[in-house]
Amino acid sequence: MANVTLHDKHFEPYVDEADVAKAIDTLAAKVAKDYSDKTPLFIGVLNGSYFFASELLKRLVIQCEISFVKVASYHGTVSSGTVSQLIGLNERIAGRHVVVLEDIVDTGNTIVHIMAALNEKQPATVAIAALLLKPEAYKKDIPINYVALEIPNVFVVGSGLDHDGLGRNLPGIFRLAQS
């Protein structure tokens, strides 16, 4: 893999496509085992999760459903802080076994908002599956139940992840080049 330039920034190969695929194989096997009798509802968080959702679901031989949401955040009053809404969630969540699919969990702020919005709808269970996790950055209490790859605190693109709109289509994972 060669280096790539996206807008003003240079990125170097970090995890190749085959290793990403292997990591998703392992994760998919765990999910299949845990949900074989549950008909889970997977909820992909757009835009970044499209790649992970597709790669994960094609490996699952269990019965399941998939839907996608966008997270819209806006600042409420000072006391309520940032409020998030899940856009596009039309499925009935109550009583379902839900698995949230995220491209990457960094500080975890996004996942906290998603979990709050989902839990209001009273699912039977909610788990989180992430293609990437930055353990050094993640300080929340919510467990990230399934992680394909753990990475250090570096900015990455590819496999669904972008830099200002570009790079989502790159196979494998690229990291910001240290110059």
- Which residues bind to Mg ion, rule: CB under 5 A? 48
- 109 lies in the binding site for ligand 5GP (CB under 6 A): yes
Q: How far is CA 56 from CA 22, 32, 33, 60, 76, in A?
A: 11, 10, 13, 7, 35
Residue 106 interacts with ligand 5GP (CB under 6 A): yes or no: yes
Number of helices followed by number of strands (H, E) in the chain: 3, 10
List CB contacts of 73: < 8 A, sequence separation 6 or more: 82, 83, 84, 85, 113
User: Considering only residues 151-170, where is the footprint of ligand 5GP by CB under 6 A?
Assistant: 155-157, 161-163
Residue 49 CA to residue 68 CA, distance in Å, equals 9
Rule CB under 6 A: choose which of 6, 15, 105, 149 binds ligand 5GP: 105
Catalytic residue among 106, 141, 162, 164: 106
Q: List the structure tokens of 108.
A: 């975890």
Smaller CB separation from ligand 5GP, 29 or 72 = 72
What's the closest the beta carbon of residue 102 comes to ligand 5GP, in angstroms?
A: 6
- Three-state SS string over 16-34 comes to CHHHHHHHHHHHHHHHHHH
Distance CA 134, CA 141 (A): 14
CB of 39 to Mg ion, least distance (A): 26
Q: How far is the CB of 45 from Mg ion (least distance, A)?
A: 6
106 is catalytic: yes
Q: State the binding string over 21-60 for ligand 5GP (x if CB under 6 A, else -).
A: ---------------------------x------------
CB-CB neighbours of 143 under 10 Å:
8
Closest distance to ligand 5GP from the beta carbon of 103 (Å): 6
In the complex, the residues that contact ligand 5GP under the rule CB under 6 A are: 48, 103-110, 155-157, 161-163
